[in-house]
Amino acid sequence: MRILVVDDEELIREVIKDYSLNEGYEVDEASNGEEAIECVSNNKYDVIIMDIMMPHMDGYQAVREIKKIKDIPVIMLSARTEEYDKLQGFDIGIDDYITKPFSPKELIARIKAVTKRNKDEDILSVGNIVLDTLSYTVKIDNNIVEMTHTQFELLKLFLTNPGIALSRERIIESIWGYEYEADDRTIDAHIKLLRNKLGIYKDSIKTIRRVGYKFDYEEK
């Protein structure tokens, strides 16, 4: 995996580079947005670590220009902690946001999570249930089943985590994000609707008492 680290502070670049090299990653460096754009134009990267406050061109503008060239996952670094700054980053297409000072180990974990999400299979299938993330369709026993966005994302979460008990908290974080406010009954209602869409396979979604839910496919 190849990473581009963009920050005007050499010490931060060096710290990120050292930890990334220990993970076996290749690392390129840029000290400002203009250099980052030039690197992206001439190389292929799996993820970009982008600072916001830099000379010549800030991180926001650099990401906008990079997205015109290539769709590369971006993790933004910033000393800014205001919600506005995070939302601005997500609005222009970044994948994650981490504030300074940060733990290099946490950053590596974020890199792994972002690259894993972007390498997910286009088609997920368990038994006779097939989910296509490109066409946004679900087929059960070769028949297309209409689902809402929430039902589709819930099923995708279950198919990517077969046999794993998922807490209600993790389901909320994965589908709606940390800011979503919902009680257990709301989640249970969504699960009930999804079960109904699965028809004869509805019992594949197991209720784990005091935890949440688990997907164990039951062939019919």
Verdict on whether the full-model pTM lies above 0.75: no
Contact between residue 159 and residue 120 where contact means Cβ atoms under 8 Å apart:
no
Residue 70 domain-assigned (yes or no): yes
The answer to whether 18 and 43 are in contact (CB under 8 A) is no
In a domain, 87, yes or no: yes
Ordered DSSP codes for 40-54: HHHS--SEEEEESS-
CATH (domain of 199): 1.10.10.10
114 and 176 assigned to the same domain: no
Q: Are 110 and 155 members of one domain?
A: no
Number of Cβ within 10 Å of residue 124's Cβ equals 18
Cis peptide before 55 (omega within 30 of 0): no
> Same domain for 174 and 206?
yes
Residue 176, pLDDT score: 73
Residue 64 inside a domain? The answer is: yes
Residues 6, 88, single domain; the answer is yes
- Is the same domain home to 28 and 110? yes
Instruction: Say if 151 falls within a structural domain.
Output: yes
pLDDT at 119: 55
Q: In the chain, which stretches have pLDDT less than 70?
A: 81, 116-121, 177-183
Same domain, 38 and 101: yes
Answer yes or no: do 70 and 177 share one domain.
no
Same structural domain for residues 143 and 91? no
Q: How far is CA 114 from CA 74, 85, 118, 209, in A?
A: 8, 20, 6, 31
Residue 176 lies in a domain: yes
Q: Do 113 and 128 belong together in one domain?
A: no
Tell me: do 75 and 36 sit in the same domain.
yes
Whole-number pLDDT of residue 178: 58
Count of structural domains within the chain: 2
* Strand 137-140 relative to strand 143-144, pairing: antiparallel
Whether residue 108 is contained in a domain is answered as yes
Of 98, 118, 138, the last residue of a domain is 118
What secondary structure letter does DSSP report for 201? G
Would residue 26 count as lying in a domain? yes
Token digits for 55?
Answer: 């000379």
* In contact, 78 and 49? CB cutoff 8 Å: no
User: What confidence score (pLDDT) does residue 33 get?
Assistant: 93
Q: What is the pLDDT of residue 138?
A: 96
Cα Rg, the chain, nearest whole Å: 20
From residue 184, alpha-carbon distances to 6, 167, 177 in Å are 42, 10, 16
140 and 204 part of one domain? yes
Q: Are residues 182 and 158 in the same domain?
A: yes
CATH of the domain at 52: 3.40.50.2300
Domain boundary among 118, 138, 171: 118
Q: Which range marks the domain in which residue 133 is found? A: 123-215
DSSP 95: S
- In sequence order, which residues have a C-beta less than 8 Å from that of residue 169 and are 6 or more positions away? 212
Residue 220 lies in a domain: no
Which of the listed residues 118, 139, 156 is the one where a domain comes to its end?
A: 118
Looking at residue 1, its pLDDT comes to 87
Cβ-based neighbours of 74, under 8 Å, separated by 6 or more: 47, 48, 50, 63, 66, 93, 94, 95, 96
Give the pLDDT confidence score for residue 110 in this predicted structure. Answer: 85
